[in-house]
Amino acid sequence: MEFRYLGNSGLKVSEITYGNWLTHGSQIENDTATACVRAALDVGISSFDTADVYANTMAEQVLGNALKGERRQSLEIFTKVFGPTGPKGHNDVGLSRKHILESIDGSLTRLQTDYVDLYQAHRYDVETPLEETMQAFADVVRQGKALYIGVSEWNAEQLRAGHKLARELGIQLISNQPQYSMLWRVIESEVVPAAEELGVSQIVWSPVAQGVLTGKYLPGQALLAGSRATDAKGGANTIKRWMSTEVLTAVQKLRPIADDLGLTMAQLALAWVLANKNVASAIMGASRPDQVADNVKAAGVQLDAEVLTKIDEAVRDLAEFDPRKTVSPEQREA
């Protein structure tokens, strides 16, 4: 495993982060989820990402149980706050002081830890003054419940404003967690330049485009039973934008590129996002332990300029680049 600094801080994270969105407490049984976490630890992954909203708090609980007994100082545990949790009442959502201070305590209990290394604003909250949100985060840090602050899916303007307030409050906002892959490149023109200017890293989610970039979905063929594209609990909805014949055909052009490098297509996709120097880590999910052992081999892979050009020629025309696609909810929905 290789490690990178997270933003302009002294904190190092593993190039591959194990994440449990859409899996723990939802798609797979707890025993399998625990086996995946153990596999991640076995291959040197030290960074683990979750959120209170995943499976309505169950994902945090499963992760906490799976990591129980591990040396806490050897791990980097990330979680997030914003989405509706619990009975989804009128204050069970957003980035108000009330929701943040109550949510961090709930997350720590479920994760069975005294602190998280990174506490992230899961989306930007247009209904709460940013000053209130950042003051609440500062209090969480001063209470020792989080070491650093991050955000997720914030645009460049929001990132600059949040970073400015964090500095004024004496805390470190060091990361953003956006969607990023060969097919979803909306952060490249505005968010990444702003982040580089501010000393903020990206921890990217969906680097294999919900599984499409693994090459397992073939144009014109039936969907694989048990795959995310057939998951009625949420997976099918998140992947549907990539399931056109045009996209699936273009993705197959990546196979010979991966073969020439001795990589799987999933490893190629992960190595591609890590080629962006502003990316500190790529989040990888798994429904089987063997997927963890296979995909982690992308860590440390260097793609040269010629390979990056070939990848662009294969899929660039079908990728999304519009920075306006980085959007937070216009209003909270409990």
* Average confidence (pLDDT) over 180-189: 97
Give the range among 208-212, 231-235, 286-290 with minimum mean pLDDT. 231-235
- Give me the percent of the chain exceeding a pLDDT of 90: 78
Residue with tokens 């495993």: 1
Q: What is the pLDDT of residue 11?
A: 98
User: Residue 167 pLDDT more than 80?
Assistant: yes
Q: What is the pLDDT of residue 15?
A: 97
Distance CA 104, CA 118 (A): 11
What's the chain's average pLDDT? 91
Residues near 320 by beta carbon (within 8 Å), at least 6 away in sequence: 183, 184, 185, 186
User: Residue 207 pLDDT more than 90?
Assistant: yes
Q: What is the pLDDT of residue 241?
A: 82
Distance CA 328, CA 122 (A): 9
**Bigger pLDDT: 219 vs 166:** 166
To the nearest 10 degrees (0 to 180), the angle between helices 265-274 and 305-315 is 110
Alpha-carbon torsion (149, 154, 155, 161), positive or negative: negative
Q: What is the pLDDT of residue 240?
A: 74
User: Residue 5 pLDDT more than 80?
Assistant: yes
Strand-pairing partners, residue 24, are: 28
Number of neighbouring beta carbons within 10 Å of residue 44: 14
Distance CA 56, CA 38 (A): 23
DSSP states of 151-164? ESS--HHHHHHHHH
Q: What is the pLDDT of residue 223?
A: 63
User: Residue 27 pLDDT more than 90?
Assistant: no
User: Residue 315 pLDDT more than 60?
Assistant: yes
Q: What is the pLDDT of residue 243?
A: 82
Among 21, 132, 167, smallest CA distance to 80 is for 21
Number of neighbouring beta carbons within 10 Å of residue 137: 30
- Give me the percent of the chain exceeding a pLDDT of 70: 91
**Bigger pLDDT: 293 vs 232:** 293
Among 32, 90, 87, 28, smallest CA distance to 57 is for 87
Distance CA 297, CA 206 (A): 17
Q: Which tokens belong to 253?
A: 């052009």
In tens, the pLDDT along 74-88 reads 999 999 999 999 888
User: Residue 25 pLDDT more than 70?
Assistant: no
Q: What is the pLDDT of residue 216?
A: 86
Strand-pairing partners, residue 28, are: 24
Among 41, 113, 45, smallest CA distance to 281 is for 45
Residues in the chain, how many? 334
In tens, the pLDDT along 119-145 reads 999 999 999 999 999 999 999 999 999
Q: What are phi and psi of 236, to 5 degrees?
A: -60, -35
Distance CA 117, CA 45 (A): 15
What amino acid positions are annotated as catalytic residues?
54
Q: Which residue segments constitute the domains of the chain, with CATH numbers given? A: 3-325 (3.20.20.100)
Q: What is the pLDDT of residue 224?
A: 67
* Average confidence (pLDDT) over 103-117: 97
In tens, the pLDDT along 29-65 reads 678 888 999 999 999 999 999 999 998 899 999 999 9
CB 79 within 8 A of CB 60: yes
Alpha-carbon torsion (211, 175, 272, 261), positive or negative: negative
Q: What is the pLDDT of residue 10?
A: 97
CB 329 within 8 A of CB 123: yes
Q: What is the pLDDT of residue 226?
A: 56
CB 37 within 8 A of CB 63: yes
What's the angle, vertex CA 118, arms to CA 276 and CA 281, rounded to 5? 20
In tens, the pLDDT along 256-308 reads 999 999 999 999 999 999 999 999 999 998 888 888 989 999 999 999 999 99
